[in-house]
């Protein structure tokens, strides 16, 4: 064990903690009644072989997040494929192609279907294989397991069984749900980080039973045995009921002895535990759901289009069959050349109804080109290529970790462009759990000159705006033509008039981690020269004493690292050290501080810790009672300012007004604040209180915590205010900018976190989901302790009333700029999600600018996500990094996992993974926007070209007496979708860009084209279908009318069916490829090659196919060389038809761009004419209109700060004006 570990091992924290640790010895009367329904699990400790047979055989510790396995892949994957209605149609058509009634060969129908379905299944298998490999990484982690006779060895997680004794070492994850037996600390406590489960960064204290403390080394388990009877597997993270039978005694167990899978051991050298729940029985896996099969909105809408086209297909097939029946009955007997006397059921003049029915099937197959089978395989291919581009985007590559973006499934690419609501975890997703001490207020004086990110950005933007206004007034161009970044920390903030706007100081050089404070008045002992040096000394001592951290020597720096329960404490200790007060040692009863400036030479002082009243979300404060070297007893307290101010003595409020003003300023700057206070205690007063405290501490029963709280409250009164701290919660890089851009793109952002309300609110301020002036609506449950059996009904009624009142308040609000934020905790959320309340809750939440749900369980995260998804009917995206986020990631339409350092559970369950939250901006605003438009345009074009092609078959069939005769050669029809028109549409789906990625980010409002579904609404879909109908009419009737009576060859011969069919097919190839060229906004050599190359390929094929012997090529033998190419009318008709069929679309887009341009049309024109370089004023004006109106985000906050700075500037101008008047007079 390390020296630090031995130091920690000697500390008996159970003597210090008041609320979390000390549990009196359990008496027999308090044992849990076990054995009924829901409490039937029996675990034989250290005897895993007992659990290899029923009824005690439990699931293994192997976990799987895959959609398929070897047995289920084939049936489930086939079911997934034939959920697509088009595939069902083609399956039926393929079966019918084996019969004589088919107009085509069986191969031409079966091969495309097998190819499409097979390719899609292969893609599914590949994506699921990736999930399987990530599962194996987790299942193959090693942990130390007791093998027998006191010997431990390493085994993979998946080999763990119920009953195994495992040894988990510091900074390792727990492999299963364990009962804590002992730890590296002498009194059996350990620290657990549950960020993966509930999002909280504060370490939790767990403590083993007193009776198992002796099991603190490997050999102690040689003869260990016991029986645990407990609750059955369930998803409740915060409850556990069970008993341990050990050494002929029975002891009650509770959640404080349970170590949950995927939480991490911290600040403790090792623990021993016995496995209770494994694999999918563990509580974290109970909170997860099976990997769902997700389909995008566009894909679901495609089903309805297929239904429409199938209806159209049935209609024209019915018309054809009726026409054929009529022709069979009345015209067939007259057609002597058809030998009507030799008949079959396919054409029997005596039974025309049967002939019509058989012809119906023939027509259904013949006109099947209306429903494009290649559409699905083209979409699959395009999505895979889009996913490759997402994976290879260097702008979403995290250089620090070396992790790129990963599109784990390509089925939902276009869904990225239609997101309406983002539901985000907090810890590890928005924050990086690093606090920086930035400012403080001591004795009513504010210290710290460095500016927060909010202040820097506001000042930069204000200076830029003023520069812009001055340049416009003077008519001179701005010196720097580039768009200024408000996050640039290196700008000089002055105005041309010489009046300084506001001093913004950024840190100089490299800072100490956790300490970004700069102010010479407090540094290097200069605080001794301040007027209130005694108060400053007390302030520093509160920072360095009031905590539960443990120092660990750092051999490299010669200083100490601090392992604390929360990042705030770590920042305070680092700050105290920089101020000259270094926390260097802790014993069972004392804290030792090395003070640099309080005497002539550095001195180490001892403060005896008498009591510690730890922080919790209900108390919102922490206190420590110490005795200094002079024997003076002090209560040192830190907590939320509202709590501390309420507890101040009359003579302790001297600095309240100034401190409160500073707290408001710190809050506006996005900083987290705490107030610090103290109280001097006399020995008799403390002794009397301590007797009451010890009595409450050792009380047995449910009243213990209430009594402890009451006694603590008595002591934490009559405080004297010392000052306040302001720390900057270090969000992950780029989080405020990302949220700001997403808000400007019109996205709503909800935060769902297991963290306490205060922390969540502070993060809300830090990332600008909340801001000063925003009206907060807090929905909390009423106190239920005094209520009887009707408590639940009363609480539900209270929650409903709060929701109703809040909704009414929003409706009555007349200020259009008013913004509301909804904050609700998990306990209240449980009622708000009930069937009779959830719709009112959702309505309220949607009306609010931002929503923060705190203390929510993983199950509640999933339920909230489902409510938003189903209640609004709009696309939801959930993003998180821990196992506690798996439920909501799987429940949302799109799940995004953060591939951070805290395990890979979220990534394994996600559809897309990124390394940092900031990459979500580019994933949605750039790739999402592009993918949506590409897929939408691609599908619309597919239906256009297939209708244009398919309807010509119907026209010709009607023209030839409904004979079922196709006008085109079989090979033409087979190659139409596979080669001749497939590559251009694939290039459209992969490379099309309406605007560049830089413009996407500059004009975030463009993203709203996706959520508003502007490119795949029914108006646009039917418009493209009408375009296909028009093109089919032009192609068919122009060709038929021109070729009908015209001499075709030099010898005067008219054209035959092969010549007309080939010419008509040439016109189709030209028309549809020219159409896609008009559709594209962005051309590369690839698009040019595919579009014009497809046309060229047609002529190459026609030439080569004509060279094949007639037994194969049939009537197409040398048709290009001998019949078509030498004939001018062939080329004239091709040109005429191509122009005529594309003319309406050309007129439409010309009119739209001229009179009703869309946003991207305007930007394209500005870029084309280089107005963004030549006319900066117009470009800035367009940029100002480029964001959706929003009430959250950094820009909104900066605007508010700018208004405040403008007021200050106006006051300066007015004061200067007054002085000038006085001087003149």
Catalytic site residues?
425
- Which residues are CB-contacts of 517 (< 8 A; sequence separation ≥ 6)? 437, 438, 439, 440, 447, 448, 450, 575, 578
868/851 Cα distance (integer angstroms)? 12
Residue carrying structure tokens 């003077």: 474
1079/1061 Cα distance (integer angstroms)? 27
Task: Count how many Cα atoms sit within 13 Å of the Cα of residue 224 in the half-sphere of its side chain.
Answer: 31
Structure tokens given for 758: 């205060």
- Print burial letters for 549-576: b (CB count within 10 Å at least 16), e (below 16): bbbbbeeeeeebbbbbbbbbbbbbbbbb
DSSP lists the bridge partners of residue 717 as none
Q: DSSP string spanning 887-907?
A: HHHHHSSEEEEE--SS-SHHH
892/294 Cα distance (integer angstroms)? 9
Pairing status of strand 621-627 against strand 672-681: unpaired
> Between the CA of residue 577 and those of 572, 609, 741, what are the distances in Å?
9, 20, 39
Report phi then psi at 291, rounded to 5.
-60, 115
* Nearest by Cα to 756 from 672, 632, 870, 871: 672
- Enumerate the H helices of 1156-1224 as residue ranges: 1159-1168, 1171-1174, 1176-1184, 1194-1224
Q: What is the dihedral of CA 186, 190, 191, 197, to 10 degrees?
A: 180
Q: How long a stretch of residues is the chain? A: 1225
855/795 Cα distance (integer angstroms)? 18
* Nearest by Cα to 464 from 1139, 959, 1224, 1199: 1199
Report phi then psi at 1215, rounded to 5.
-65, -40
3-class DSSP assignment, residue 133: helix
277/435 Cα distance (integer angstroms)? 36
Longest pairwise C-alpha distance within the chain: 129
87/77 Cα distance (integer angstroms)? 13
- Which residues are CB-contacts of 836 (< 8 A; sequence separation ≥ 6)? 800
122/146 Cα distance (integer angstroms)? 43
Q: What is the dihedral of CA 91, 93, 99, 105, to 10 degrees?
A: -100
* Nearest by Cα to 365 from 302, 303, 316, 305: 316
C-alpha angle with apex 611: 606 to 612, nearest 5 degrees?
A: 100
C-alpha angle with apex 124: 120 to 127, nearest 5 degrees?
A: 135
398/411 Cα distance (integer angstroms)? 24
Structure tokens given for 119: 């390719």
Residue carrying structure tokens 């600008």: 768
CA dihedral for 760, 765, 767, 769, sign (positive or negative): positive
Structure tokens given for 859: 């199950």
Q: DSSP string spanning 955-1009?
A: HHHHHTTS----SS-HHHHHHIIIIITHHHHHHHHHH--SS-HHHHHH-GGGGGG
């Amino acid at each position: 064990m390390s020296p630090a570990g031995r130091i920690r091992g000697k500390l008996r924290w159970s003597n210090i903690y008041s609320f979390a640790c000390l549990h009196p010895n359990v008496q027999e009367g308090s044992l849990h009644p076990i054995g009924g329904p829901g409490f039937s699990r029996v675990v034989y400790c250290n005897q895993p072989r007992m659990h290899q047979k029923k009824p005690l055989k439990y699931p293994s510790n192997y976990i799987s997040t895959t959609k398929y396995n070897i047995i289920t892949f084939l049936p489930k994957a086939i079911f997934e494929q034939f959920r697509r209605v088009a595939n069902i149609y083609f399956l039926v058509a393929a079966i019918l192609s084996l019969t004589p009634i088919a107009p085509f060969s069986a191969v031409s129908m079966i091969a495309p279907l097998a190819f499409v379905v097979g390719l899609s299944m292969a893609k599914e298998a590949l994506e699921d294989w990736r999930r399987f490999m990530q599962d194996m990484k987790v299942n193959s982690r090693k942990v130390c397991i007791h093998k027998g006779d006191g010997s431990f060895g390493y085994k993979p997680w998946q080999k763990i069984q119920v009953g195994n004794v495992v040894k988990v070492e510091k900074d390792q994850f727990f492999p299963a749900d364990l009962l804590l037996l002992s730890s590296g600390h002498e009194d059996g406590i350990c620290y657990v980080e549950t960020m993966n489960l509930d999002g909280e960064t504060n370490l939790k204290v767990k403590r083993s039973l007193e009776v198992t403390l002796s099991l603190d080394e490997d050999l102690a388990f040689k003869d260990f045995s016991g029986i645990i009877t407990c609750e059955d597997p369930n998803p409740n993270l915060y409850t556990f009921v069970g008993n341990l039978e050990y050494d002929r005694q029975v002891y009650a167990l509770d959640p404080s002895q349970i170590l949950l899978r995927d939480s991490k051991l911290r600040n403790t050298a090792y623990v021993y535990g016995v496995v209770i729940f494994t694999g999918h029985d563990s509580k974290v896996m109970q909170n997860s759901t099976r990997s769902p099969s997700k389909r995008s909105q566009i894909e679901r809408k495609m089903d309805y289009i297929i239904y429409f086209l199938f209806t159209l297909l049935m209609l024209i097939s019915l018309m054809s069959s009726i026409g054929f029946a009529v022709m069979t009955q009345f015209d067939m007997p007259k057609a002597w050349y058809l030998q009507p006397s030799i008949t079959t059921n396919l054409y029997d003049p005596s039974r025309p109804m049967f002939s019509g029915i058989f012809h119906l099937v023939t027509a259904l197959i013949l006109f099947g080109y209306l429903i494009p089978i290649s559409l699905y395989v083209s979409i699959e291919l395009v999505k895979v290529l889009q996913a490759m581009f997402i994976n290879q985007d260097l702008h979403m590559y995290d250089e620090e970790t070396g992790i790129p973006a990963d599109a784990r499934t390509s089925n939902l690419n276009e869904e990225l462009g239609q997101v309406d609501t983002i539901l985000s975890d907090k810890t590890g997703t928005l924050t990086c759990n690093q606090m920086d001490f930035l400012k403080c207020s001591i004795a009513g004086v504010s210290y710290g000159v460095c500016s927060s990110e909010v202040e820097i950005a506001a000042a930069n933007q204000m200076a830029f705006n003023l520069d812009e206004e001055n340049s416009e007034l003077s008519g001179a161009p701005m010196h720097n033509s580039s768009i200024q970044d408000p996050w640039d920390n290196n700008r000089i903030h002055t105005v041309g008039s010489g009046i300084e706007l506001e001093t913004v100081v950024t840190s100089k050089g490299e800072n100490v981690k956790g300490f970004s404070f700069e102010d010479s008045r407090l540094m290097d002992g200069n605080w001794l020269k301040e007027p209130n040096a005694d108060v400053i000394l007390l302030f520093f001592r509160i920072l360095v004493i009031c905590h539960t951290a443990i120092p660990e020597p750092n051999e490299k720096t010669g200083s100490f690292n601090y392992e604390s329960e929360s990042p705030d404490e770590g920042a305070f200790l680092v700050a105290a050290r920089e101020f000259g007060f270094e926390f260097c040692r802790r014993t069972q009863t004392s804290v030792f501080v090395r003070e640099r400036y309080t005497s002539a030479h550095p001195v180490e002082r001892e403060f005896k810790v008498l009591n510690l009243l730890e922080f919790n979300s209900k108390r919102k404060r922490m206190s420590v009672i110490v005795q200094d070297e002079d024997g003076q007893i002090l209560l040192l307290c830190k907590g939320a300012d509202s709590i501390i101010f309420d507890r101040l003595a009359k003579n302790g409020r001297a600095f309240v007004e100034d401190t409160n003003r500073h707290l408001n300023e710190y809050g506006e700057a996005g900083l987290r604040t705490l107030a610090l206070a103290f109280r001097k205690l006399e020995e008799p007063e403390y002794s009397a209180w301590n007797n009451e405290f010890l009595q409450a501490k050792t009380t047995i029963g449910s009243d213990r915590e209430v009594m402890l709280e009451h006694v603590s409250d008595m002591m934490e009164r009559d405080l004297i205010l010392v000052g306040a701290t302001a720390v900057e919660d270090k969000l992950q890089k780029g989080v405020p900018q990302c949220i700001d851009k997403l808000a400007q793109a019109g996205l709503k952002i909800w935060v769902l976190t297991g963290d306490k309300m205060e922390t969540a609110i502070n993060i809300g301020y830090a990332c600008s989901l909340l801001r000063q002036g925003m009206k907060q609506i807090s929905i909390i449950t009423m106190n239920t302790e005094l209520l009887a059996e009707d408590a639940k009904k009363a609480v539900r009624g209270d929650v409903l009333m709060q929701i109703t009142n809040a909704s009414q308040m929003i409706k009555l609000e007349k200020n259009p700029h008013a913004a509301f934020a909804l904050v609700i905790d998990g306990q209240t959320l449980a009622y708000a999600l009930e069937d009779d309340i959830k719709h009112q809750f959702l309505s309220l939440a949607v009306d609010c600018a931002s929503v923060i749900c705190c203390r929510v369980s993983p199950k509640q995260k999933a339920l909230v996500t489902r409510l938003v998804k189903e209640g609004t009917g709009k696309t939801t995206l959930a993003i998180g990094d821990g196992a506690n986020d798996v439920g909501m990631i799987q429940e949302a339409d799109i799940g995004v996992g953060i591939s951070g350092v805290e395990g890979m559970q979220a990534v394994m369950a996600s559809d897309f993974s990124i390394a940092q939250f900031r990459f979500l901006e580019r994933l949605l605003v750039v790739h999402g926007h592009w993918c949506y438009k590409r897929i939408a345009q691609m599908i619309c074009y597919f239906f256009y070209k297939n209708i244009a092609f398919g309807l010509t078959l119907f026209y010709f069939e009607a023209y030839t007496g409904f004979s079922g005769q196709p006008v085109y050669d079989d090979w033409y029809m087979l190659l139409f979708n596979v080669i001749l028109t497939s590559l251009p549409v694939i290039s459209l789906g992969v490379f099309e860009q309406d605007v560049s990625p830089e413009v996407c980010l500059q004009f975030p409002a463009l993203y709203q084209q996706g959520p508003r579904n502007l490119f795949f609404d029914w108006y646009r879909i039917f418009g493209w279908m009408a375009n296909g109908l028009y093109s089919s009419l032009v192609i068919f009737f122009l060709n038929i009318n021109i070729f009908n009576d015209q001499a075709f060859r030099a010898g005067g011969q008219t054209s035959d069916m092969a010549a007309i069919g080939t010419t008509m097919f040439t016109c189709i190839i030209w028309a549809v490829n020219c159409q896609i060229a008009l559709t594209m906004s962005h051309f590369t050599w690839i698009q040019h090659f595919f579009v014009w190359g497809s046309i060229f390929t047609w002529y190459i094929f026609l030439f080569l196919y004509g060279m094949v012997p007639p037994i194969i090529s049939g009537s197409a033998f040398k048709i290009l060389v001998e019949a078509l190419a030498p004939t001018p009318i062939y080329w004239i008709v091709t040109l005429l038809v191509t122009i005529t069929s594309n003319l309406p679309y050309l007129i439409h887009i010309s009119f739209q761009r001229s009179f009703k341009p869309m946003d991207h049309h305007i930007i394209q024109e500005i870029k084309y004419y280089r107005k963004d370089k030549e006319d900066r004023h117009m470009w800035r004006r367009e940029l100002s209109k480029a964001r959706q109106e929003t009430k959250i985000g950094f820009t909104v906050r900066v605007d508010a700060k700018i208004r405040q700075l403008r007021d200050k500037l106006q006051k300066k101008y007015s004061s200067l004006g007054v002085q000038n008047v006085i001087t003149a007079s």
